[in-house]
Amino acid sequence: MNKLLIFFIDAFAYDYLEKTNFLSDLNFDVSPLETLLGYSSSIMPSIWSGRYPEETGVWTEFYHHKRKPYTSLKMIGKIPDYYLRNGIKYFFLRLFQKTHNYDQTLLGIPESIEHLFCRNNINYWIFPPVKLSCDSFDKFMKKKNISYDFDFHAYAVPQFLFPSSSQSRISSNVFIRYIATLDACGHLYGPKPRFFKDQLQDIEHLILTSYRMLSKTSDVDLVIFSDHGMTNVTKQYNLLEKLDNFTIKKDYLVFVDSTIARFWFFNVNAKAQIIQILEQCTYGHILNNAEIESYGLRFTDNRYGDLIFVADPGVEFFPSFMRPIRFPFIGTDPKGLHGYTPEHPSTRGVFMYCGNKDLKLSNTMKITDIYQKLKLLIIS
């Protein structure tokens, strides 16, 4: 087989190709890539297995499952002032989550319900990022006795490809490089690549250098793909405020991500009233059965929610469990977000191939198609 060089560029939107000359020196077959409803936690397992979330069992990072509460968070939860409480919690979690403590929770999950959620064990910086029970690319390569080498970096630094200290890695057949820079840029600046030209150039440089380096000694198949696009944020909507008249844990439970809110209900009347509120909301919609089926979200239990409410493209649920508060001096409101229904053009990722095979790319390529293309490159 040829050497296979894979660059997984988080949040590289298809639209960026029209706005830049990205890698115009190389000859690529290019396809827009329809993403999945969800975040990287949902999309990565589907990329590496070719299966939908209902088959991998992994969708959102957090799911409803009762566990032992964190007692320290209970105490922090007693601080009456909202801003002080969240400020202390922010520094507490930052300190301890680095050592993998308190990693079953998140800053914005209210202390009274934090023990009702667990986190899928996803580590974006390793490969595979999560252990799957189904077939997956790592298992396929092992079965075929193909050596591979993975690296993750938040930035596209040159030594990222082949660190001189580990020359033996160059003998691998497959190189997988995961670059997360553009996701942060898209959130910060919105989907406007003119504001992150330098980062794009660094990535181009990294890809070209590594492609040329490998090409000196082998035939190379170069594949570049992303997991989703980026949508311009135009509106913040306070969904939690609309639920003030209901009692959490008694009437309902909710997990509010920045663009997706998932509900569980314990009271028929409250359920009917909350559904009415959501149906009247003009900033999002409740997923219907056809959507749940087409996005591959027919789970056999309700750990990911009884009802899913998705923000319209450009709307951010704020406050959310991801971002409960605007901290002075720390971070800003995002100008770009992802996690909307995949029909909107801004959500499209990209798939690019440079090599001598015919991958038969189409304009309707989906996240779950990537795996078959990679397999084809390995077995041909």
Interface residue list for Zn ion (CB under 5 A) = 183
Decide whether 324 or 339 has the Cβ nearer to Zn ion. Answer: 339
* Identity at 283, one-letter amino acid code: Y
As beta bridge partners, residue 316 has: 236
Cβ contact 7:181 at 8 Å = no
**Angle between helix 370-379 and helix 40-49 axes, rounded to 10 deg:** 30
Instruction: Render the burial of 120-136: b for 16+ CB within 10 Å, e for the rest.
Output: bebeeeebbbbebeebb
| Shortest distance, position 113 Cβ to Zn ion, whole Å | 24
| Shortest distance, position 39 Cβ to Zn ion, whole Å | 7
Cβ contact 233:313 at 8 Å = no
Decide whether 178 or 264 has the Cβ nearer to Zn ion. Answer: 178
Decide whether 183 or 221 has the Cβ nearer to Zn ion. Answer: 183
Decide whether 183 or 202 has the Cβ nearer to Zn ion. Answer: 183
Question: In angstroms, what is the C-alpha Rg of the chain?
Answer: 22
Which long-range contacts link 66-70 to residues 24+ away (Cβ below 8 Å)?
66/115, 66/116, 67/104, 67/115, 67/118, 68/115, 69/114, 69/115, 70/102, 70/104, 70/105, 70/114, 70/115
Decide whether 210 or 231 has the Cβ nearer to Zn ion. Answer: 231
- Please state, in angstroms and as integers, the Cα–Cα distance from residue 326 to each residue in 92, 186, 320, following that order: 17, 19, 11
Phi, then psi, of 6 in degrees rounded to 5: -115, 125
Decide whether 132 or 185 has the Cβ nearer to Zn ion. Answer: 185
| Shortest distance, position 40 Cβ to Zn ion, whole Å | 7
Cβ contact 62:56 at 8 Å = no
**Angle between helix 197-215 and helix 181-189 axes, rounded to 10 deg:** 160
| Shortest distance, position 107 Cβ to Zn ion, whole Å | 16
| Shortest distance, position 106 Cβ to Zn ion, whole Å | 15
Helix (H, G, I), strand (E, B) or coil at 164: helix
| Shortest distance, position 191 Cβ to Zn ion, whole Å | 12
Decide whether 41 or 105 has the Cβ nearer to Zn ion. Answer: 41
| Shortest distance, position 364 Cβ to Zn ion, whole Å | 24
Nearest position to Zn ion, beta carbon: 183
